[in-house]
Amino acid sequence: MKEERKLLIKEQLNLYKERYSQFIKFNKILKKILHRIGKQIATEYIIQTRVKSLTSFAEKILRQPHYKDPITEMTDICGIRLILPTIDDVKRASMLIKENFIIDPSIGKNKVDSLAVSEFGYRTDSYSITLKETSPLYKDLNIPKSYLSQKAEIQVRTINEHAYASIYHDLGYKGAYKLKDQWKREFHRSAALLEQIDESISRIKMIIKDYETNFGGYLSEKEITKKLEVLQIIHEADTENVDTVYKMALLARNIGDWSRVVNLLSKYAHLDKAPILRELGFAIRRYYKKDSQEYQKAESYLKKVIQLDPLDWDAMAILGGYYKDFDEDKARDCYEKAFAINPHDAYSLGNYLIYELRKLRNLDLITISKPFILDAIERCNTQIELEIDIPWAYYNIGLFNLFLGNFQNSFINYLLGVRYSNHDWMISTTFKTLNLLSNFKDLFPGLDLIQNLLLLSLAFKYDDEPAINRLKSYYKSSYSKIEPPVVIIIGSTRNEDEELIEKYQKNVLSGFNKYEGTLISGGTLAGVSAFGGQLEELYSEKIKSIGYVPKEIPDSEKIDNRYCEIRHTDGLGFTIKEAVSYWLDIWGSNIQSKFVKVLGIGGGNIARLEYYIALIFNAKLGILEGSGRSADLLIQDPNWKDFQIGKKPRLKLLENTEKDIEFFITKY
């Protein structure tokens, strides 16, 4: 070694000893900053700090002779490591580090990016940093300016990555012993398993978050009210327990009690807790009028959440909803960012695709995004199995099936979404999102039927004024108003069910002998639809029968001219369109659904949807026992079990007797 080099090393070592205490102090500052980052992300985390020892400093100078001013040039004299539970936590921490420090792009790296496709190994996010004078995260620490140029290395890893690195990095990578290939393979196999565990933990954490944000979403309004009473007692005993406040807010949200949500959470906004601010921003948007100053606070609260947690896709998507009313470009940008953060989130994906469709005016992106859509449907089905994110999981599946051209599945899931909606705001929000596609009805056959379903649900279930006004704006009928009460006969129309129809015919016809009112059915000679014509013949003075048929019917079907009136839809063949049409006419005749009864006898896919519609519109549905197919499946379907409970359930199983049928039609 040249004498000149020896002198440089001695000078550097003496200088290092002089400045060592400063390095220690700088590391303490970094530790305070990393604690602030850790607290924003997880309740449990580990921080490790170290200042390079004099020996280690000397060894590095000797190993790497290119240093001319080692103390200034070395980036890892001061080092700090943040260890977090999950991969997503690491991503959040990395984003906050990038926002709050000056990063040297030539040195900072993610170890995963350097691994080959088939390779598993040492994974750590590593950054060479200097302090950012303008960072709001630590501006209050009054850090001496002399530290602003000091370089340091920050590492971020999961607990599992840390376990692997502690062994392999020290023994296999920097150890004194050369490992044989078989043990290197064993290390890499362990790394692969740990990577799988990390990914599994992240998925579990995502499900837990779904549970948390949808607390009470599967409960009825009555059950929610009871839970709120219990939590209120707990809250009064311990007002500082933020978790109780958060749970109360989520429950109140599910029944649309926005006043309670805002009043509860506003008292805790100063704590700067992301979940509290996110729900507060959401509730303010619902509670206050758009032109009020209070309404504008929603934006600031949601932006604060994103500042606290840049990976909070929920907050980003809610902010998109805030902009949806008045700034389409900002809304689209928020949904795009939310989707980028979490491509598995169905709500973000659905809204992102809607806004891109409005921008591009074609289905190209939906075609390209099919793998994401199918993945989102699978995730929504998992949520439904776990009873989380209800009713939104149903609404999201409905939207995705509409995108894919699967109208039947789409309609069923919108029906189930309405069935599990505890409050009108859930349905009206869904309609508002779907209404963004109104100019693209040619791309989405059946869109108008789903929109009418949602509007009629709001009208019949909640007497919702905006929905009623919207229906009034376009509903027109050339037919006379329907007179109450109304009985609708639904069921099998297949030729092969002729024996089944005969089994019920006598009791159904005689069961109407005391009924006076309107009868609605299929308007043909097929199956149960023929009952309408027969009843018109028997009781024409008491019953007005109305048949709903498409403008084009199959050659195998014949109009039953015994009906008092046949009403035509613009459909091509029998679909659910006829059912939506008669419910529109019932609404247009100012008939409340409590004056409507539905008699069900077997049936296939269309009858199944008609049964669902009757129940969600609050009509009474009587199913004839043993009539098979959709009727029997409905009775066994857990989604409608609650409708069979109580002194006067809306879904009732009827015996095939004149007495039971007559009682249901006239007195039930």
Q: Render pLDDT for 342-371 as a digit per residue (tens, 0 to 9).
A: 888 999 999 999 999 999 999 999 999 999
Higher per-residue confidence, 235 vs 344? 235
In sequence order, what are the residues at sequence separation of 6 or more whose Cβ sits closer than 8 angstroms to the Cβ of residue 53? Answer: none
Cα–Cα dist 403/354, whole Å: 9
CA dihedral 648, 653, 657, 658 (to 10 degrees): 50
Sign of torsion over alpha carbons 96, 101, 103, 108: negative
Of the two residues 547 and 58, the one the predictor is more confident about is: 547
Give the pLDDT band (50/70/90) at residue 73.
confident
Q: What is the pLDDT of residues 194-206, one digit of tens each?
A: 878 888 887 777 7
With beta carbons less than 8 A apart as the criterion, state whether 595 and 485 touch: yes
> Dihedral sign, CA of 346, 399, 298, 279?
negative
Where is average pLDDT lowest: 84-88, 103-107, 118-122, 471-475?
118-122
Q: Specify which residues 651 forms β-bridges with.
A: 621
Give the mean model confidence (pLDDT) for residues 453-470: 96
Q: Whole-angstrom Cα distance, residue 665 to residue 517?
A: 10
Range 285-306 average pLDDT: 94
Q: Report long-range pairs for 395-403 (Cβ below 8 Å, ≥24 apart).
A: 395/430, 396/346, 396/347, 396/350, 397/346, 398/450, 399/350, 399/433, 399/434, 400/346, 400/350, 400/373, 400/376, 401/377, 402/444, 402/446, 402/447, 402/450, 403/353, 403/363, 403/366, 403/373, 403/444
Per-residue pLDDT band for 168 (boundaries 50, 70, 90) equals low
Order of all β-strands in the sheet with 620-624: 565-572, 543-552, 517-521, 486-491, 596-601, 620-624, 651-654
538: confidence class by pLDDT, cuts 50, 70, 90 = very high
What pairing do the DSSP bridges indicate for beta strands 152-158 and 543-552?
A: unpaired
Cis-peptide into 105, omega within 30 deg: no
Is 515 in a helix, a strand, or coil? coil
Give pLDDT tens digits for 640-653.
988 887 778 999 99
Task: State the pLDDT at residue 398.
Answer: 98
Q: Given a cut of 70, is residue 48 above it in pLDDT?
A: yes
Of 637 and 173, which is predicted with more confidence? 637
Instruction: Provide the pLDDT for residue 1.
Output: 65
Q: What's the rounded Cα separation, in Å, for the pair 392 and 435?
A: 17
Residue 116 is classified by DSSP as -
Residue 114 confidence (pLDDT) above 70:
no
Q: Quote the pLDDT of residue 119.
A: 45
Residue 211 banded pLDDT, cuts 50, 70, 90: low
Please give the model's pTM, rounded to 2 decimal places: 0.79
411-426 average pLDDT score: 95
Strand, helix or coil for residue 540 = coil
End-to-end CA distance of the chain: 104
| Percent of the chain clearing pLDDT 70 (strictly above) | 94
pLDDT at position 12: 87
The pLDDT assigned to 212 comes to 63
User: Residue 172 above 70 pLDDT?
Assistant: no
Average pLDDT over residues 296-306: 95
* pLDDT tens column, 548-604: 999 999 888 999 999 999 999 999 999 999 999 999 999 999 999 999 999 999 999
State the CB neighbour count (10 A cutoff) for residue 292: 11
Band of the pLDDT at 169, cuts 50, 70, 90?
low
**So what's the pLDDT on residue 110?**
56
pLDDT of residue 179: 64
Give phi and psi for 131, each to the nearest 5: -70, 145
Could you give the CA distance from residue 652 to residue 668 in angstroms, rounded to a whole number? Answer: 10
Cis peptide before 310 (omega within 30 of 0): no
Neighbours of 336 (CB within 10 A): 17
Nearest CA among 286, 222, 231 for reference residue 259: 286
Higher pLDDT, 267 or 120: 267
Q: Which single residue is written with the structure tokens 């919207």?
A: 470
170 pLDDT band, cuts 50/70/90, is low
Cα–Cα distance between 460 and 445 in angstroms, integer? Answer: 25
∠ CA 61-64-70, rounded to 5°: 45
Residues whose CB falls within 8 Å of the CB of residue 283, separated by 6 or more in sequence, listed in order: 249, 253, 258, 261, 262, 265
What is the arithmetic mean of pLDDT over 281-289?
A: 94
Is 521's pLDDT higher than 90? Answer: yes
Give residue 528's pLDDT band: very low, low, confident or very high (50, 70, 90). Answer: very high
Mean pLDDT of the chain: 90
The residues, ordered by sequence, that sit 6+ positions from 230 with a Cβ below 8 Å of its Cβ are none
Residue 273 pLDDT exceeds 50: yes
Confidence at residue 404, expressed as pLDDT on a 0 to 100 scale: 96
Residue scoring higher pLDDT (179 or 431): 431
Residues 159-182 have a mean pLDDT of 69
